[in-house]
Structure 1
Amino acid sequence: MMEPDNIKRMLEAALSDCQAEVSGDGRHFQALIISPEFEGKGLIQRHRMVNAILKAHFDTEVLHALSMRTLTPAENAGAQ
């Protein structure tokens, strides 16, 4: 079983200047992920980046589902 803090740490370690907010029930999670690495990338590319970071956990089904919002810092500033 995964904890939201574990996912947060993995994302923040893998993506530069990343801020992640993760919640969930142990298998199904929701995340807001903000990183300048998303600059110039489309939604699918961003989601693939995140999925690649967590791939081993998806493959072993420790992590079953992740609903995510992926934003650049500028997009996040505009959303507030």
Structure 2
Amino acid sequence: MVTPEQLTQLIQASLPDAIVHVQDLTGGGDHYEAVVVSAAFEGKRLVQQHQLVYRGLNGVMATNELHALALKTYTPDQWSANPLK
């Protein structure tokens, strides 16, 4: 089982400027939602943004510690304009 704090650290290790918020969706420690804000997403399509996040999570994904991750990715400008934050 992986914790929200561990997921946050792994994402920030691969995207050092990222603001990351991770929430356990089921309480079981294997289904999460992550909101990630990073300047590294500038000019990238959504799938490319998600690939950047997943690169940092390959270890936990390969071991099945993490079964599901819903991602919401934003550039800093998109995040500033996001009325739902």
TM-score, structure 2 as length reference: 0.89
User: What residue is the counterpart of 2:18 in the other structure?
Assistant: 18
Runs of 4+ aligned residues of structure 1 deviating over 3 Å after TM superposition are none
Note the C-alpha offset of 1:16: 3.1
SS of 1:51's equivalent? helix
- The aligned length equals 80
Note the C-alpha offset of 1:12: 1.4
SS of 1:57's equivalent? helix
Work out the CA distance in 1 between the residues paired with 2:16 and 2:6. 17
Question: Greater helix percent: which structure?
Answer: 1
Give the percent of matched residue pairs that are identical in Structure 1 and Structure 2: 34
Is 1:66 equivalent to 2:69 in the alignment? yes
**Structure 1 unaligned runs (5+)?**
none
Equivalent positions of 1:4-43 (< 5 A) are 4-24=4-24, 25=27, 26-43=29-46
The Cα offsets for residues 19-70 of structure 1, whole Å up to 9 and x where unpaired, read as 0000113100001000000000000001111111101111110111100101
| Contact 1:18 1:36 (8 Å CA) reproduced | yes
Work out the CA distance in 2 between the residues paired with 1:9 and 1:60. 17
Identify the range of structure 1 (7-16 vs 30-39) with the bigger mean alpha-carbon deviation. 7-16
**Structure 2 unaligned runs (5+)?**
none
Q: Say what the alpha-carbon RMSD is for the aligned residues.
A: 0.9
User: What residue is the counterpart of 1:56 in the other structure?
Assistant: 59
TM-score, structure 1 as length reference: 0.94
